[in-house]
Structure 1
Amino acid sequence: MKHVSFVNTPAVPLSPPHGLTSLATTLPFPTEMEGVANAFVQQTADPILLVNAQGGVVWANASALTQFDALLDAESGCRWGQVWATEHRANALAAFDQALAQGRARFTATTIASDQALLEWDVTLTQIRGFTPGSSNIIAMAREAQSPGAGPSHLRRGDLRDALTGLPNRMGLQQELHRRTLRRVADSGQFALAVLDIDRFKLLNSRLGHKACDAMLTEFANCMAQAANDHAFVARVGGDEFALIVDGQVETDKIVTMIERLIQQCADRILNSTDTAGFSVSAGVATFPLDGEADQELLRNARTALEHARRAGPGKTVLFNGSMRQQLQRHLSMMEVAKVTIASDWIKPFYQPKVDLQSGCVVGLEALLRWQKPGAAVELPASILAAFDDPELATCISETMQNKVLTDIAAWRRAGSALPVAINASAADFRDPDFAGKFLKKLYEVDIPTHLLELEVTEGVFLGLGAADVGEALRELHTAGVRISLDDFGTGFASLSHLKVYPVDVLKIDRSFVNNLPDSSEDRAIVSAMIGLGHNLAIEVVAEGIEAMQQATLLRDMGCHTGQGFLFSRAVPSAVVPHLSRQHIMAGSQPQALPRRVS
């Protein structure tokens, strides 16, 4: 028997118009019995699914949504085969074909719950006609196959409560959401759903240990429950993920403010009761019925808003809007491209020269990330920008760049044309408490002197959790002879105290201050102050983004040591670097010795 194709046919999301009343009205119930039919279908403990002839799950009752995790995890709709464990999908597809051909079929299969429990189901498939004119649909009813003496799965799996915190769990949230959406549809009420996530929880776990983090989760849960009181419903739906349902007819911005205040109250309590610095919580908020009239649609949209909150920075609360779905899809597409790029080894460093503005000699290089699919054009990092929001992907990219840059430097040394190279380090690198030791070990293994490496960091790495570890790592690298460069100085979270506390050898003036030179008197004053600061602290000053000779000449006359930008050269492949190292790009005298800060 030929299988239905599940590849090119799109699944239908579990949202209106395939809603609760749609199912009952397609079955042969008298009009006066439709309400009873809806109540029966929704309240039964057995999962019920409606599947179209193409294999897309178009409707599910409350029990199915709480017990079949695949229905929630599929952002763009769930396929019939995806519901079941991999080893049973062939049987599920064969039974589906049989039901389409003969009207009825039956099979057994398993699913894996979110807590990894293996559940076995006895599934009956029945064909119905007329749900969509001219097509057939399948009603699937699943009943859990129990071994003798075993209770129902919802009892075996801890009922509706989270074992650690005592709050309602994910299943409890599903039931509460479903109850509230049904009630609010009837009385035209409103409520808001917030999904909360503790920022950098993996880092907290690695630093504090599971026992301390469990105590922190319990404390946060208790605070949320107490603060919410009778005005809200609070649940723990994952390791560090909580949900909050708030009733109200007030404006959405006021609801968001109230949620932010509640979160901050509990975060402050954690900060005051523990020695955890930088504890914060991100949240995404969706409102009913504006952002979704079905419970699962509302939950998906709140999670979409949470993703945007995470990317906006720690401690942010973001309200859902319709454009977020497209933005999230672009973000996820970037992540996929980045994963393929890493796995395929398409990342490659390009090098932009740093020029002594007095002599015109190339005195160093900055390694810049590029990637290239075979046979395609070289891509800039902007095309995989989303990967840098993910600590694991960011670390993989950083390690790949470091290894390739060190390989290039070793080759240039053997050819007698090595120059100092600056390489960027991100906050993700410093999550490893032994980052400095591992970095130095790589240098020693390939026999590269430390003075040939410069580590560039932005001031963002000094903020939040692990700032003390960042300082220790930079001091270890500086003591070993690696120069430390502070990138984008004068933007973002700039603080003069960083120059006092951390061993900075190089200040990089951001291109935004160079662009308008020499015309802008304000930018001239700012750049002059930065150069003077560098001189007084014995720190080299590098100006980025130089594109015109007037800019280079003015910066040189103001006392800036070094410059880089398109005036001198774009970033080039490693094979071109030996030629660059022999060039004098600006006319002038012999190069001056670059300063190195003494601790």
Structure 2
Amino acid sequence: MLDNPSLRLGVREVLQVPHKEDITLLEDKQLYQFLLVEDIQGVRRILLNSTSYSIGRNPSNGIVLYSNLVSRQHATLQRVPMPKKSIQLFRIIDGNLQGERSKNGILINGKRKLSHLLAHGDEIVFSKDTKALYQVASNFTEASVPSDDATIAISENELAVFNDELAVINDEVMSRLASIPELNPNPIIEIDLEGDITYLNPAAMQQFPNIDTLGSQHPTLQGLLSRATSLQNGNQDFFVREVEINERVIEQFVHFIQCSDLIRIYVADITERKRSQEIIEYQASHDSLTGLPNRQYMNEFLNLALAQAERTAEQIAVIFFDLDRFKLINDSLGHSTGDMLLKAVCDRLVHYLPKDDLLARWGGDEFILVLRHVTSPEQALKVAQKVTKILEPPFICDGHELHISTSMGISLYPFDGKDVDTLMKNADVAMYRAKGNGRNNCQLYKSVMHENTFKRLSMENRLCKAIENDELLVYYQPQVNLELGKVVGVEALMRWQHHTLGLLPPSQFIPLAEETGLIVSIGYWLLRQVCAQSHAWQLAGLPPLRLGVNLSLRQFRQKDFIEKLSQILEETGFDPHFLDLELTESIVMEDIEESVTRLRRLRDMGISLSIDDFGTGYSSLSYLKSLPINVLKIDQSFVRDITENLYDQAIAISIITLAHKLKLNVIAEGIETKEQMELLRSFGCHEMQGYLFNRPVPPAELAEFLIAQPVLW
């Protein structure tokens, strides 16, 4: 390192200093100046014999520093002529002569400097792995790196005289250190303590032609003298300020020259740099698609608004909203159309936004509206309703006419939270309550919503681990044929053994599984369980039974569903002719052509297909005749009051008659009384299931029931 004694100056030759008072050591003898540089490539000594050097890692520099930690042009060495002296000195400047400073700066003898007149022995630090030592020698032959026993010829006493004299010279030339001001391409201005201009370099006169006339009233000098008093008092060495002049931004580096009571201003045009910074800052705080403020900007805005509202005792409303069923638009029409819709929505809303309020994109199709100066919850609700009205007219995107609605949630400061996170969370909770109420509406936050949301989140988290923790169970309910007088099939029904809530029926967790997508993994688990169980029953000697399994829309729409089902059948050894997949009307009727194709593939595998809860959906009878199905199931809602309700009887008769005409089997669900059973049998329905015959039971209990199967009606 540069602290190695072998690299320091020592005494080898004593200079004879004349006793004449008007001749200095510097004038007496020719001295040579060197820069001893140490970087990752080692140590090298450079003789300084040019008027200037650029220093940095760019190979085009006069002095190249081999380190990635230094700037491309890190510093500049500038020879400073000394009037009335026989020598010339070197000044090191951070950055280049155009006013662009280095990234890390430079340290001179451990202190950060922007500019420094070098004295013998000064250490310059460019980075943690790159340093330099400035040396003065009386003999040119000392240019090589000295060994331990060879040092440069100048005595310590003479070195002290040399450095003292440099210190005097430093004060004398501070007023003209500007790296040859006449040649500097940037303006340099000097004023006295009265504010009168004492010097302008050519660049200053060219860029500010009226500065001499306006004097201290010129924009570059306005307000400068009052700030410069801190320099005169010695409170600071310099300051930097920015000034705007005719849409240009200039940076001024201002320092005080004590020996001449002058204030010097170095000027650099940083307009392009400021514009680049503004572009970068804008991109960091705004959404690239819509141009709206993004989440970061919204957080900063709302924090400031809350701080002001605390002082003024005002209310603030946070409205969280998204576009209902936006995912359907993205999936069916493509993301480009979805992006066009998002931009069109934003363009329409910003025209109605009050100046003090903020509309921001939270992410995806979610938006935040921050309303300031709110006086009541009703005022926030009116704004939300106005947003709904604004979005009612259709949007034309890529030739498609799109109608949208929104679900909105509102939280109010200070009642529903006093910080950004709490207000956002509660507005989000209220929005999901709006979705739960049928979408296209707005809800104010209430504390009970948070409790319900927490319960739902807790159940969702627990459901994710239900399979892993063996908490899911399968129960089986027999299906009987009255003509044969025996059990001909079973329907598999899910149960969840919750750790705190006990045994839960499907109605309490299947909708959540559908919404979160967990139904897909749960559905495959169910198929594998019931196929393996049914195969085991057959191996145990029980009669083969038709196995009914409910199928979800998400699972049916999986591209690889049929392949995975085939794999499960093969792995479990279960005969597909005994498998009956039960689908709702809504599953079958969504994308009817694709549904028919898939259903036919399943039929070709030997699998039976049923329409569950027939009559409760929106199936078209014109399609029903072409669907490759085997069974229609009468929903229990038509069975519950069938003995008293003539309308239920008419519907049941219609379904049974339709099934017979189409050569389909028909099963009635929810049979609880003999009267219901006999009435449906009289209508021609001979297969039924319900509590009258047996409730859903675990596998072992069902096996016992089948072995001791009683005589059925």
> Normalised by the size of structure 1, how large is the TM-score?
0.62
Alignment of 1:325-404 (within 5 A): 325-372=450-497, 378-385=503-510, 387-404=512-529
User: Helix, strand or coil: the match of 1:390?
Assistant: helix
The residue that corresponds to 2:400 in the other structure is 273
User: Helix, strand or coil: the match of 1:363?
Assistant: strand
Which residue identity lines up with residue 269 of structure 1 in the other structure? I
- 1:219 maps onto 2:343 in alignment: no
The residue that corresponds to 2:547 in the other structure is 421
- The separation in 1 between residues aligned to 2:644 and 2:380, in whole angstroms, is 46
- 1:169 maps onto 2:169 in alignment: no
- The separation in 1 between residues aligned to 2:421 and 2:592, in whole angstroms, is 39
The residue that corresponds to 2:352 in the other structure is 231
Which residue among 583, 586, 605 is the counterpart of 1:460?
586
- The separation in 1 between residues aligned to 2:346 and 2:279, in whole angstroms, is 23
User: Helix, strand or coil: the match of 2:290?
Assistant: coil
The residue that corresponds to 2:268 in the other structure is none
C-alpha offsets along residues 513-537 of structure 1, whole Å, 9 cap, x if unaligned?
Answer: 2111312222222222222222222
Which residue among 310, 318, 321 is the counterpart of 1:195?
321
User: Helix, strand or coil: the match of 2:493?
Assistant: strand
The residue that corresponds to 1:434 in the other structure is 560
1:543 CA drift (Å): 1.1
CA contact (8 A) 2:639 2:670 kept: yes
The residue that corresponds to 1:283 in the other structure is 407
C-alpha offsets along residues 124-147 of structure 1, whole Å, 9 cap, x if unaligned?
Answer: xxxxxxxxxxxxxxxxxxxxxxxx
Higher helix share: 1
- The separation in 2 between residues aligned to 1:519 and 1:579, in whole angstroms, is 36
The residue that corresponds to 1:546 in the other structure is 671
User: Helix, strand or coil: the match of 1:421?
Assistant: strand
Which structure 1 segments of 5+ residues have no match? Answer: 1-150, 589-599
The residue that corresponds to 2:444 in the other structure is 320
Which residue identity lines up with residue 407 of structure 2 in the other structure? A
> For residues 219 and 572 of structure 1, do their structure 2 counterparts lie closer, same or farther at Cα, with a shift above 3 Å needed?
same
The residue that corresponds to 1:260 in the other structure is 388
Taking every aligned residue pair, what percent have the same amino acid on both sides?
A: 29
C-alpha offsets along residues 255-291 of structure 1, whole Å, 9 cap, x if unaligned?
Answer: 444433444546x5358539x9xx9665232154597
- The separation in 2 between residues aligned to 1:456 and 1:498, in whole angstroms, is 18
CA contact (8 A) 1:410 1:446 kept: yes
**Greater CA radius of gyration, 1 or 2?**
2
The residue that corresponds to 2:572 in the other structure is 446
- Greater shift after overlay, 388-397 or 315-324? 315-324
CA contact (8 A) 1:304 1:320 kept: no
User: Helix, strand or coil: the match of 1:560?
Assistant: coil
> For residues 217 and 377 of structure 1, do their structure 2 counterparts lie closer, same or farther at Cα, with a shift above 3 Å needed?
closer
- The separation in 2 between residues aligned to 1:508 and 1:435, in whole angstroms, is 24
> Normalised by the size of structure 2, how large is the TM-score?
0.53
Higher-RCO chain (CA-CA 8 Å, sequence separation at least 6)? 1
- The separation in 2 between residues aligned to 1:319 and 1:304, in whole angstroms, is 9
Which residue identity lines up with residue 330 of structure 1 in the other structure? K
User: Helix, strand or coil: the match of 1:343?
Assistant: coil
> For residues 368 and 200 of structure 1, do their structure 2 counterparts lie closer, same or farther at Cα, with a shift above 3 Å needed?
farther
Which residue among 637, 653, 656 is the counterpart of 1:512?
637
Which residue among 330, 347, 367 is the counterpart of 1:242?
367
> For residues 244 and 339 of structure 1, do their structure 2 counterparts lie closer, same or farther at Cα, with a shift above 3 Å needed?
same
> For residues 308 and 293 of structure 1, do their structure 2 counterparts lie closer, same or farther at Cα, with a shift above 3 Å needed?
closer
Higher strand share: 2
C-alpha offsets along residues 91-129 of structure 1, whole Å, 9 cap, x if unaligned?
Answer: xxxxxxxxxxxxxxxxxxxxxxxxxxxxxxxxxxxxxxx
CA contact (8 A) 1:334 1:383 kept: no
CA contact (8 A) 1:360 1:586 kept: yes
Which residue identity lines up with residue 229 of structure 1 in the other structure? V
> For residues 377 and 180 of structure 1, do their structure 2 counterparts lie closer, same or farther at Cα, with a shift above 3 Å needed?
closer
CA contact (8 A) 1:301 1:320 kept: no
